[in-house]
A and B are shown apart, each in its own frame.
Chain A
Amino acid sequence: MIYCPKCGTANRQGSKFCNECGTPLSPTGVRCPMCGAMNPTGNLYCDRCNARLIPAERVSPAEEKPERPSPPKGISLPSVPLDKEGWLSELRAEAEELDLLPEEEIPDWLKGLEAPAGPPAPEAPPPEAAIPEWMAGLEAPAGPPAPEAPLPEAAIPEWLAELEAPAGPPAPEAPLPEAAIPEWMAGLEAPAGPLAPEAPPPEAAIPEWLAELEAPAGPPAPEAPPPEAAIPEWMAGLEAPAGPPAPEAPPPKAAIPEWLAELEAPAGPPAPEAPPPQAPPPEAAIPEWLAELEEATPEASMPAEKPAPPLADIPVPPSDEIPEWLRDVEFAPPTREEPSLRPPPIVAVDVHAGVPPVVPTTVPPLLMGEEELPVTAPGEIPDWLKEAPEKEAPKEAPPEFGGLVPAEIPEWLRALQPREAVAVEEEPAEMEGFLAGLRGLLPIGRGLDMPATAQPSLPRAPSPAAVARAELLQGLLSRPLIIPPTAETREAPRKSIWLLTRFLVGVILLAAILLPMLVRLPLFGPPTAPSAVTLFATVDQLAENTPVLVAWEYGPAESEEMDRVAGPLIEHLLRREARLILVSTRMEGPAAAEALIASRLADPSERSRRIVNLGYLPGQAAGVREAIGNLDGRTEATTGLPVSQIEAMAGVHSVADVGMVVVLTAQPDDLRTWVEQVSAANPNVPVVAGVSARVELISTPYLAAGQLKGMVAGLIGGAVYEQQLDTGRGREYEYYLTSLGTAQMAIAALTVIGAFIFLVGGRKR
């Protein structure tokens, strides 16, 4: 998580802007000092160059670790302090020890090298004669050409006047005395830089405010400036090429102020004769510059374009003059734990090569072992220094995305990378038409250029693994086919048993039905049906030429049974000279009625006088109700004539004009409809029924309640009615009844056997 430094909102890792306030978020991580790559926080080594990111620790409990300010939110810095091991402090202590050595023990060249390592010594201004020309060159560009110096010559040198001039307001043409400088001008001079306080004006001319500023700024000046002859030769050699030619004459010796010493000190080595009187900075001061290093980018910490002294001018001391402590400190062999990040003040220098100090952030192998130290000629760059830049320079900083560096792709993953697309041959440009000048729009030529036949590929020798797989497949295919039993195969025997059972039942039923035709079986007595006898008596009481409404509510599907029920009844009505008015709420009813009437009517010429077929009545109950109330408003089904013109319909207008209503049906609903509607229209009209066996159970309550005056139910009822009527079809009914009885017995026997098998054989179905 990255916390916004402004609002403190937690943002996801890698966010560039705060999700709450939009403040840009600094990329978290540690930048490698060697290659510049960003690494996640917590890495000890760089993911790219494997350089150590955090210096190794040297735990020294005696030393007090300075407190570091907590980093601001949103920026993750290494949690381990860079100087945790204290190596920097050790180096500094050794450097101080080096400074405390007697001067006669320190060689000149070492004094020159040590100078930049130590703190600047502003308190020791070099003598006037010691200021080289190059130093004057450094001072010269600091300010524009100086105006006429109003100060006395003895107090302020000319070159100092030149430096001070830009800091203050433009000097008026009229020279003003020192005491005449206004306060506002002094106010401008004060923040101009450290130059003003160090200017040594005459005591009388310096105002008080300037004295106050000057007092804490500079250390006390040395009482005795070193003589000019004390400047070593090497310093002259360093100064000579560094500074540009001085355009002006150097200031007089006595006029060099203290502030100039501060400016000159970093540029050149101080005088060895004047060791810095100030005590070395305490250990607590180390983290300050170390923090500066952390904040600075590698580019910013690159070695400045400092003028390097000519190598030839640096005196090379003999090896035996190097003290032991210096060998141990500066020529320690670099190890992996050796931090590569070095503070700028402490710089090791290859004394043999005489290389000027370089900021160690860019040169990793700064310290080498003595045994590995190559002997190089003066001015020659050692090998290790040559190799160092080569490792760093060619590498380019990879693009960073939100502080993340893309990982290196391993070899195996590179092999999976898609190959570069083959450059498509550019299509020729169209020469004419609307597409003239365009390319690749009609790639016809590519198809025409294809070879007619494909190039046969060379057969490759199969690998042993492929051969083994092929042999295994061949072995599997050569095995005999074994089909595991599936649900379908398991059901096959059961299905065949079931089919056999059905066949046996059918055969038994056929045998039971056909057996009475072959053999007369006196198994059953004469049938009895009181309701049929009652109906016979009712019909027999009808007067001659009585109109009878017959509802023919069965079709060919039920005619096999119903014809033997309705046949005797219809014949009886015809015998009684009744006029039959046929009607049906079923579409096939009129045809079934015509077929039966034709078989029962002895004289077809009497049909028009005795029979009227009103045909089909749509509408079920409503149609029945409408029909029984309007019998003469229809047309005859067979002839198409209005029933009012038919003799059989004479005097019949509604159900109230008929002597009887006969319902012939094989469906319970038809019987109920007719009984209900006739009862609702005219309850005095007698209703009789000839029904199927399945309707007998429903019609019995109507018969018991007196709503039906008589009923013929099923084959038995028909047989009884036939027996009462004696039409000569008794033998046929006897066969039918016997076959029906034997079939019923067979079914009863099969049911018992099936139940027994079910109970004995198990309850599984």
Chain B
Amino acid sequence: MTADLIGLIVGTLLTLLVLSYILGDNPLYRLALHLLVGATVGYGVAITTVTVLRTILPALQSDSPDRVRVLIPLILGILLLFKGFPRWSAWGNFSTALLVGVGAAVALGGALVGTIIPQTAAVGSLDIWLREGLAGLINGLIVMIGTICALLAFAFAAPRQPTLRRIWNGSVGVLGQVGRLFLLTAFGAAFGMALTASLTVLVGRVYAVVIGVQQIITAVGMGGG
């Protein structure tokens, strides 16, 4: 019995245990769930430790300027460990501030350059619309209208003056309702796509079980014969 066959048997059994949730919460499902969580956490800790040590230790042993470059993150990382002790947690504030500040700055910069500006430009880009002909134009118009209406759906304020309020409710309010329809459609599509992804996984696991059982029977039959 090879390791692949053992892995196939274990994988098949664990799949069946997970699928037993269709009958409700039960100890078999709990067992498979705990095994998955435990294995994932253990594997993550091992990967993180190996990765960090593999990155830091060679740099510290070398005589290159990388030694200093690694030393500073190492000190910041050690200071970050003090966060686990309430009495000494202040020592990790600088590391935390550095992480949060750098992370926010990088994320914000990337969002501006990579998402907000290009997407805003793409919504109103007639060139992009006409790239695919009439369908592209219609699609572009729908995208633009849907985007504007979806944004107006979150306009909860209104002017105090009755006249302006009536105008606001007649324009922004209606567009906001249209935007809510776009949002509902988007949420429905997202749910459908998520369901499709889940069904794909289910189909893959069912096929894996069927194929695994066939292979196990074949392997046991071959071993027995």
Contacts and interface: CB of A to CB of B under 8 A. Distances in A.
A676 interface: yes
Contacts, number: 158
Interface in B96-115: 99, 102-103, 106-107, 109-111, 113-115
B196 A693 contact: yes
Given A587-B43, A677-B110, 14 more contacts: A517-B207, A558-B201, A618-B52, A620-B103, A621-B103, A635-B58, A672-B114, A701-B143, A704-B122, A704-B139, A704-B143, A707-B114, A736-B200, A736-B207
A509 B200 CA distance: 12
A672 B115 contact: yes
Interface stretch (A160-168, A376-384, A387-395, A738-746): A738-746
Contacts of A558: 201
A362 B103 CA distance: 107
Contacts of A633: 66
A622 B47 contact: no
Interface in B21-48: 22-24, 40, 43-44, 47-48
B2 interface: no
A298 to B, nearest CB: 81
B72 to A, nearest CB: 14
Given A736-B204, A744-B199, A747-B199, A705 B51 contact: no
Interface stretch (A84-92, A143-151, A250-258, A500-508): A500-508
B178 interface: no
Interface in B160-206: 186, 189-190, 193-197, 199-206
A534 B199 CA distance: 26
A588 B36 CA distance: 12
Interface residues of B, number: 52
Given A666-B197, A697-B189, A739 B44 contact: no
Given A622-B106, A675-B115, A735-B207, A616 B47 contact: yes
Contacts of B107: 621-622, 673, 676
A704 B206 contact: no
B54 interface: yes
B6 interface: no
Interface residues of A, number: 62
Interface of A: 499, 502-503, 505-506, 509-510, 513-514, 517, 558, 560-561, 564, 587-588, 590-591, 615-616, 618-622, 625, 633-635, 637, 640, 642, 666, 672-673, 675-680, 683, 692-694, 696-697, 701-702, 704-707, 714-715, 735-736, 739-740, 743-744, 747
Nearest to B59: A633
Contact of B197 (A506, A561, A680, A736): A561
23 contacts: A502-B23, A510-B206, A514-B206, A561-B201, A587-B43, A587-B44, A616-B48, A618-B51, A621-B107, A625-B106, A634-B55, A676-B115, A677-B114, A693-B200, A697-B193, A702-B119, A704-B143, A706-B128, A714-B193, A714-B197, A714-B200, A736-B204, A740-B200
Contacts of B119: 701-702, 705
A660 to B, nearest CB: 17
Given A735-B207, A744-B196, A675 B48 contact: no
B193 A676 contact: no
Contacts of B121: 705
B203 A513 contact: yes
B122 A673 contact: no
Given A514-B206, A558-B201, A622-B103, A503 B22 contact: yes
Nearest to B208: A560
Across the A-B interface, the 6 shortest Cβ-Cβ residue pairs: A676-B114, A676-B110, A560-B204, A705-B122, A506-B22, A679-B114
